[in-house]
Amino acid sequence: MKHELTLYCEKNKLAELRNFLDAELSSAKFSEVLKNELILAVEEVCANRMIHSHSCNPSNHLNIKVKQFDQSIIFEIIDTGEPFNMLDYVEPDLKEVIRSKSKGKLGIRLVKRIMDTIEIESTPAKHICRLIKQLNSK
Amino acid sequence: MLSIDKQKDIEHVTLILDGQVDASNSVELDDEIKEVLSLNYKTILVDGSGLDYISSAGLGVFMSYLEDFEEKDIQFLIFGLSDKVANVFHILGLDQLITLKANKEDALKTINEA
């Protein structure tokens, strides 16, 4: 099984991403709730990259890699779009989000709540977002 | 894939969601809520029992109307969410801002008690 997916930058490809991740996480060690959390976190990063770093250009793509270990799982989202470090992003107050009637600003909050470690590597050649989840953790 | 049906009752309107909500189709959910808001019901229910997945794009749609519901004194309840979908609301603390009920019976009981 090849644990990689090439995902073109169109929002209607997100279902394809979920199908890929669902198959990757089919092992019994992932409960339905945990599996859904992991799929959601990876999708949030991919949707952000597609929309904000690639302007949904369908000829651009992301590479998604899944690496499973006994005690952890690592997802890498690799692309050549504009760098963005979500670790520097200051989450707005939820009450302010409601007051402003904003429809966004929740995705990064979800990723940070779900994942144990987030690493960003950015070089002129590529941008890598690495999401790490320790199994049997939060 | 997402389908949204509407069921209009005398006292309330119910949006029945079936499928998955993500960044590609959250605008459909947005349009439906906008429409039911214009119908001037005092209670809006969402039947989430057929909702298999929701990302931040869908959650953001619900969030963006909370101020309108408050201003117009509209009761807004979601019922029937699966554990995995309800968990997403819990992660963000949205269960403190939106009334979630296990099933339609509980949702209607909450309305009648208000």
Provide the residue ranges of all domains of chain A, joining segments of one domain with +.
4-134
pLDDT tens track for A14-25: 999 999 999 999
Token representation of residue A50: 């597609």
Partner residue facing B53 (CB), from A18, A94, A104: A18
pTM above 0.90, yes or no: yes
Token representation of residue B40: 């001037």
The pLDDT of residue A69 is above 90 = yes
The pLDDT of residue A137 is above 60 = no
pLDDT tens track for B7-44: 999 999 999 999 999 999 999 999 999 999 999 999 99
The pLDDT of residue A59 is above 80 = yes
User: How much is the pLDDT for B12?
Assistant: 95
User: How much is the pLDDT for B89?
Assistant: 97
pLDDT tens track for A24-44: 999 878 999 999 999 999 999
CATH topology of domain B2-113: Transcription Regulator spoIIAA (3.30.750)
Partner residue facing A11 (CB), from B24, B56, B87: B24
User: How much is the pLDDT for A79?
Assistant: 97
Mean pLDDT, range A119-124, rounded to an integer? 94
User: How much is the pLDDT for A62?
Assistant: 98
Is B10 within 8 Å of B41 (Cβ atoms)?
A: no
**pLDDT interval class at A1 (50, 70, 90):** low
- Collect all residues of chain A within an 8 Å Cβ-Cβ radius of residue B55: 14, 40, 43-44, 47, 107
CATH code of the domain made up of A4-134: 3.30.565.10
**Across the interface, do A33 and B85 touch by the CB < 8 Å criterion?**
no
H/E stretch holding B43: strand B43-54
pLDDT tens track for B53-112: 999 999 999 999 999 999 999 999 999 999 999 999 999 999 999 999 999 999 999 988
User: How much is the pLDDT for B109?
Assistant: 94
- Collect all residues of chain A within an 8 Å Cβ-Cβ radius of residue B59: 106
The interface predicted TM-score of the complex, written ipTM, equals 0.94
Is A132 within 8 Å of B111 (Cβ atoms)?
A: no
**pLDDT interval class at A126 (50, 70, 90):** very high
* Tally of CB atoms within 10 A around A41: 23
**Across the interface, do B68 and A113 touch by the CB < 8 Å criterion?**
no
Domain map (residue ranges) of chain B:
2-113
Strand ranges in chain A using DSSP code E only, listed in sequence order: 4-8, 61-68, 72-79, 117-122, 127-134
The Cα–Cα gap between A43 and A17 comes to: 7
